[in-house]
Amino acid sequence: MTAGSDLGRRIIHHRERLGLTHEEVAELAGMSPGYLRYLEEQTGTPSCASLTRLAGALRTTVEDLLGGGGDRPPGGAPAMAHPVLEKLEKEECLRLIEPGGIGRIAYEGLRGVTVLPVNYRLDAGTIVFRTADGGPMDSELRSGLEGVDVMIAFEVDRFDEAHRQGWSVLVQGPAHHLTEAPEIEITPWAGGERDLYVTIVPHRVSGRRIHAG
């Protein structure tokens, strides 16, 4: 399907990322499937309320759907009047990061603490990402000792600048190199030969959500 606008392309991207049908997204967003198809295929101008519901159904933000904020750092807007910082349970944390996307890994590398963005997916509760076979992460995420794992941290966050709300999830656990490629598809934005799949087994999972009180 060819989208009729940037908004349409972003809607299609997030709907397919979540593996949802038009009917499923429309029900979550409180709109008709026909209107959702119209927004994807034509140059529509939905109301603020419709955009907010649609962003919630697609687990993203209004600003992201509109393509705004891409050229400025996040977090510059003032805080909401009465913010509430909510601690998230493990099940909710895993549900939030389950659609996959881009996260950050952090580990103690040869040159000190290293933090890198990675494209990831969740496979049966395990985080999976791709990297270059024989590259820096290949060697730095191996301890070289039998039965000794390298511990790694993984973080994902999503924030809505317009509403000053969002969430952040932190996962900590051992890194393991897979000997065979998993069935799930992961397309790294960095491109190139990235034939090594690395998993992170969650040992500790924590998260926070910021919202209005």
Over the stretch 107-116, which tens digit does the pLDDT of each residue have?
Answer: 998 888 999 9
Q: Assess if residue 77 is contained within a domain.
A: no
User: What is the reported pTM?
Assistant: 0.68
Q: Assess if residue 39 is contained within a domain.
A: yes
- Amino acid 1: pLDDT: 42
Task: Say if residue 140 is in the same domain as residue 175.
Answer: yes
pLDDT tens digits for range 176-196: 998 888 888 888 888 878 888
- Amino acid 190: pLDDT: 81
Q: What's the domain range around 105?
A: 83-212
CB atoms within 10 A of CB 36: 25
CATH number at residue 132: 2.30.110.10
Task: Say if residue 189 is in the same domain as residue 117.
Answer: yes
Phi, psi angles (nearest 5°) of residue 132: -80, 130
Per residue in 150-167, is it b (16+ CB within 10 Å) or e — as a string?
Answer: bebbbbbbbbbbbbbbbb
Q: Assess if residue 187 is contained within a domain.
A: yes
Domain count for the chain: 2
Token readout for 191 is: 């491109």
Least reliable range by pLDDT among 102-106, 111-115, 123-127, 131-135: 131-135
Task: Say if residue 205 is in the same domain as residue 167.
Answer: yes
pLDDT tens digits for range 31-83: 999 999 999 988 777 888 889 999 999 988 887 888 765 555 666 666 667 88
Task: Say if residue 156 is in the same domain as residue 93.
Answer: yes
Task: Say if residue 114 is in the same domain as residue 152.
Answer: yes
Task: Say if residue 22 is in the same domain as residue 105.
Answer: no
- Can you tell me the mean pLDDT for 14-29? 91
CATH number at residue 13: 1.10.260.40
- Amino acid 2: pLDDT: 46
Q: What spatial distance separates the first Cα and last Cα of the chain, rounded to whole Å?
A: 41
